[in-house]
Amino acid sequence: MRSDTVIVADTREDSRITIEKIKGKGFLIAGGYGDKKAAQIRIGNFPSHTGEEVAALADLLAST
């Protein structure tokens, strides 16, 4: 089952490293679950996020 409110993305490095980099830019994201914990991040996908915020986060993830 897929969630309508959470986006899951694979990371190129340990998810903790990615999370810390993104956190330093003002975004809060979470790690994956179970055996994917170190290889994925979870991003809340709620209507309160603006298009500009989503675009900024996407740019940061692309450069990480």
What six digits make up the tokens of 48? 């309160």
CATH code, domain with 53? 3.90.1150.10
pLDDT digits (tens, 9 = 90+) for 10-24: 999 999 999 999 888
In the block, residue with structure tokens 């740019």: 59
Taking only the tens place, the pLDDT of each residue in 24-62 is 888 888 888 899 999 999 888 777 788 888 889 889 888
Kindly state whether residue 37 falls inside one of the protein's structural domains: yes
β-strand partners of 40: 10
Residue 1 counted as domain residue: no
47 near 54, Cβ under 8 Å?
Answer: no
- Domain residues for the domain of 14 are 6-63
- Nearest alpha-carbon partner for 16 in 32, 2, 5: 32
Does 16 reside within a domain?
yes
Split at pLDDT 50, 70, 90, the class of 1 is low
Residue 45, token pair as written in the block = 């996908």
Number of domains present in the structure of the chain: 1
Question: pTM for the whole thing?
Answer: 0.73
